[in-house]
Structure 1
Amino acid sequence: MKRLFLQASAWILCILLATACKNAPQNMNGGSYKTMEVTRGTRTLNQNYTAVINGRQSVEIRPQVSGTITQICIDEGAKVKKGQTLVIIDQVPYEAALQTAVANVKNAEAAVATARLMAESKEELFKEHVVSDFDLQTARNSLFQAEATLAQAKADEINARNNLSYTEVKSPVDGVSGMLPYRVGALVDASISTPLTTVSDDEEMYVYFSMTESQILSLIRANKTLEEALKQMPEVGLQLSDGLTYNHKGKIDAISGTIDANTGAVSLRATFPNPEHMLRNGGSGTIIFPYVKENALIVPQEATYEIQDKIFVYKVVDGKATSAQVEVFPVNNGKEYIIEKGLKEGDIIIAEGAGLIQEGTVITPSDSNDQPAQ
């Protein structure tokens, strides 16, 4: 029993000692800490944005007349020229319709000639007082009617010729064709849900991405107007879906004039050259947008600490650590912060372990002190 009592007493004593050590105030007498002088420098910081790649002109090819496909004139994925025939739809009914329209025109022309002769004859007879004014006007009206019928017949002929020409489905642009979901014998019409194919002009590619409203506003404030901001946009890079960087730079040449009400984002367009035809319509990638910060105050991230999403550093003032809240540029390289407010050039700050120091700690600079940021 005595042994149990002694063991319990020992455990209680250990707990009391541990609690006392925990609650004891930390040493404020200071120690040796690495410090640095805040200096200015130039950094290029990259921000990534998810992007969608489209051809400069991507056209869905759909038939304008209905019928059965009788011939496919291209291979899937082939380069095509403007005006090149892609697909031929059964022409027989449309050739017959054209022949009928041509015959109707000839019939109408004969009717006009007959009506004109009749009207001219009535004119002469009316002058001789052989026919009445009523007979003359009736002949004239018959001529007008025949001429109207001829005009309608000619319009039908034009329509028939157009329909026949539409049986040869042609590419409206130079580009590369997509896949062909229909085969010879398939019945198609203008209302099909899936197009015959898609032709994409891929000499240049449009890459679309989005920025937040606040980012766009920041760019506008920095350049005073949206037009000037667009002019000052830097060249951007493109990371492809395989993780590799595209060989050519792009230029942002369009900013949407509206904000997406659902996402609060603003769409932008960058144009990239595509001489090797590596970029394909419908592809995806990541825009690499560079922010070049010149003459900026730069501090390492290890010299900062955070409290409730606010960033602080410890300045050395009169030999003691003095906390200072700072505002940083929202983009960083993972190692450094660009300081926008809270510090000035020449300030001395704790360079490492800021989160382990207390306000008012006496600072003794180490041998590697006052090294500016590289």
Structure 2
Amino acid sequence: MTACSGEDGKQAGGPGGPGGPPPPVTVATPLIKPIVDWDDYIGRFEARQSVEVRPRVSGYVERLAFKDGSFARAGELLFVIDPRPFAAALASAEADVLRARASAQLARANFSRTKTLFEQNALSRQEFETDQATAAQADAEVAAAVAVARQRALDLSFTRVTAPISGRVSDRRVDVGAFVTAGSTPMTTIVSLDPIHFVFTASEALYLKYQRANQAGTRPSSRIAPNPVDIRLADETTYRWRGHMDFVDNVVATGSGTMRGRAVVRNPTGFLTPGMFGHMRLLGSGAYQGMLIPEDAVVTDQTRKAVLVVGPDNKVAQRVVELGPIVDGLRVVRSGLKASDRVIIAGVQRGRPGTPVQPKQGKIVPP
């Protein structure tokens, strides 16, 4: 019984016990500093340019000049279509040019003689005008033959199918010996990698928030300003990818009530791949003076969030608060707390609303 009485007496006389001194706690006023809000989104990377490579002339594939999945620069050779029929067509067209020029030279010489005789009144006007028209027609035939030769030269150059953009090439869709049709047969696809797009959707509520902030002048719209974004991948814990907004759609989708947005991210190493998911945070507000407290100072009262403060009489009181995001490791308090409140930041479990405590002054600093 003596042992039990001694133990009970220790509890009764201990800090916070009946008849004992008030329990010690550490208090500090909220940290006040300029902060900005960041809004979180989940989205997907998309290629800024995506091109399906198709031939511009019909023919048989003679050679493949790339490795499936490799990186190609704009203008780099991908396929070769058998050039022999096109080389023969070009040679024929060039011969037609020579023939047309010879005919034109003869027509001009005839017209020159006709003109001299006409000026001497030794030839009728009808013969003069006939030779004049013949010379003009011969010149036109030269121009037409040159145009055909240029087209044949283009056709020959189109037998070398090159990368239209710089980017990652997919696998080949045709093999050597396959017949491809101009403008019809898909040969492969190529997607650009640097820079790369990040596409996401925002709720109508967030879109309205941005619109009102733009009207108030506290945050410019992403339609007119390259607001910054930070992105982390599924296996990353930090936002290491930097980018900026470059597009906001012009309608809110009626089915989902969301607005589509897009950011541009530098990707010099090609690590980011179209189709990958990511977590993005977008600048959500202009700078404002915010109150920050440690996350450990927040207690849960059923469905509400609250903090414990110590009044002038050193008694504990509870403040129901509205919380914001975490900034520099501290929790933003949007409402329910005053800058002069002494918040319990250590020994929260020893504080009970309405009971006295022994406050020890502390200071809130980022972890």
TM above 0.5: yes
State TM-score, norm by structure 1.
0.69
Equivalent residue in structure 2 for 1:83, among 65, 75, 82? 75
Residues 212-251 of structure 1: pairs in structure 2 closer than 5 A: 212-217=206-211, 220=214, 221=216, 223-226=218-221, 230=225, 233-234=227-228, 236-239=230-233, 241=234, 243-244=235-236, 248-251=240-243
Instruction: Give the match for residue 298 of structure 1.
Output: 292
Equivalent residue in structure 1 for 2:200, among 192, 209, 214? 209
Contact 2:310/2:359 (8 A) holds in 1: no
Instruction: Give the match for residue 91 of structure 2.
Output: 99
Aligned-pair distance for 1:69? 1.5
Gaps of 5+ in 2: 1-21
User: 2 CA distance for matches of 1:62 and 1:110?
Assistant: 39
User: 1 CA distance for matches of 2:23 and 2:238?
Assistant: 48
Offset from partner CA, 1:307-361 (integer Å, 9 cap, x none): 7xx87778788989988775543x458x975233443212357999x9xxxxxx9
Q: Which piece of structure 1 moves more, 314-323 or 251-260? A: 314-323
Equivalent residue in structure 1 for 2:188, among 183, 196, 199? 196
Contact 1:55/1:205 (8 A) holds in 2: yes
- Residue 260 (structure 2) pairs with residue 269 (structure 1): no
Aligned-pair distance for 1:123? 0.8
1:217 is aligned with what amino acid?
Answer: Q
User: 1 CA distance for matches of 2:342 and 2:145?
Assistant: 93
Instruction: Give the match for residue 283 of structure 1.
Output: 276
Provide the aligned length of Structure 1 versus Structure 2: 328
Instruction: Give the match for residue 169 of structure 2.
Output: 177
State TM-score, norm by structure 2.
0.71
Instruction: Give the match for residue 39 of structure 1.
Output: 30
Contact 1:53/1:280 (8 A) holds in 2: yes
- Residue 106 (structure 2) pairs with residue 111 (structure 1): no
Q: Which piece of structure 1 moves more, 151-160 or 172-181? A: 172-181
Aligned-pair distance for 1:102? 1.4
Q: CA RMSD in A?
A: 4.2
Contact 1:80/1:176 (8 A) holds in 2: yes
- Residues 1:257 and 1:185: Cα distance change in structure 2 (over 3 Å): same
User: 2 CA distance for matches of 1:364 and 1:76?
Assistant: 73
Contact 2:111/2:128 (8 A) holds in 1: yes
SS in 2 for 1:185: coil
1:286 is aligned with what amino acid?
Answer: H
Contact 1:33/1:364 (8 A) holds in 2: no
Aligned-pair distance for 1:87? 0.3
Contact 2:222/2:245 (8 A) holds in 1: no
Contact 1:33/1:350 (8 A) holds in 2: no
User: 1 CA distance for matches of 2:355 and 2:224?
Assistant: 47
Aligned-pair distance for 1:83? 2.3
User: 2 CA distance for matches of 1:369 and 1:304?
Assistant: 23
- Residues 1:294 and 1:306: Cα distance change in structure 2 (over 3 Å): farther
SS in 1 for 2:198: strand
Contact 2:55/2:158 (8 A) holds in 1: yes
- Residues 1:265 and 1:198: Cα distance change in structure 2 (over 3 Å): same
2:169 is aligned with what amino acid?
Answer: S
User: 2 CA distance for matches of 1:173 and 1:166?
Assistant: 16
Contact 1:303/1:349 (8 A) holds in 2: no
Contact 1:71/1:87 (8 A) holds in 2: yes
Equivalent residue in structure 1 for 2:52, among 51, 54, 60? 60
Equivalent residue in structure 1 for 2:128, among 126, 132, 136? 136
Instruction: Give the match for residue 149 of structure 2.
Output: 157
Contact 2:248/2:259 (8 A) holds in 1: no
Q: Which piece of structure 1 moves more, 109-118 or 253-262? A: 253-262
User: 1 CA distance for matches of 2:353 and 2:194?
Assistant: 65
Instruction: Give the match for residue 339 of structure 1.
Output: 333
Gaps of 5+ in 1: 1-30, 355-360
Contact 2:195/2:264 (8 A) holds in 1: no
User: 2 CA distance for matches of 1:147 and 1:181?
Assistant: 46
Contact 1:304/1:311 (8 A) holds in 2: yes
Equivalent residue in structure 2 for 1:121, among 106, 113, 118? 113
Q: Which piece of structure 1 moves more, 130-139 or 203-212? A: 203-212
